[in-house]
Structure formats: C-alpha cells, structure tokens
Amino acid sequence: MAEFHIAPYSSKYFEGVKTLGQQAFPDDPPRSQAEAAIPAKLAMQPELSLIASDGNRAIGSIMACYDGHRG
C-alpha cells in the first residue's frame, strides 16, 4: 500500500485540489469550483479542511462542515 499523509489544507496544494475537483466533478456549477469553494471554506471553518498528500502532490481533499446538528 502506498504511503500518504493527512494534514491541514495549505495553499501550496490549491492547483492539485482544483485538478482533483475538476476530474471528480466536471459539471460543477461555478459556486462549487475551487476558486470559490476553497476560500469560502477557509474563511468559515479552516480547521475542517484537510489534504491527503503523496509528497508534494495532492491525492485527496476533505472539506467537512459542522452546522450544530448531528445526524
């Protein structure tokens, strides 16, 4: 199994996360694209944005949220 690391999001991974998003969700509306979604998330709950990396390459990202409710 390949080794990877999970860490808080860093802007050095922006292009990689953007590419992952475009590959996974090619028909995303503009509000969901990286240029809009990442800054909005970092302004609200930056601690819930994580990156999976293989060295300096983004191989996954998580943008979690908490709205005060469970379930």
Q: What is the pLDDT of residues 4-47, one digit of tens each?
A: 999 999 999 999 999 999 999 999 898 888 999 999 989 988 99
- Exposure string over 8-19, b if 16+ CB within 10 A, otherwise e: ebeeebbebbbe
In this prediction, residue 66 carries a pLDDT of 77
Q: How far apart are CA 58 and CA 53, in angstroms?
A: 5
DSSP 42: H
What's the token pair of residue 40? 């909005």
pLDDT at 14: 95
Q: What tokens were used for 66?
A: 């908490």
Residue range 50-67: mean pLDDT, rounded: 90
Q: What are the domain boundaries of the chain?
A: 5-63
pLDDT at residue 49 in the model: 94
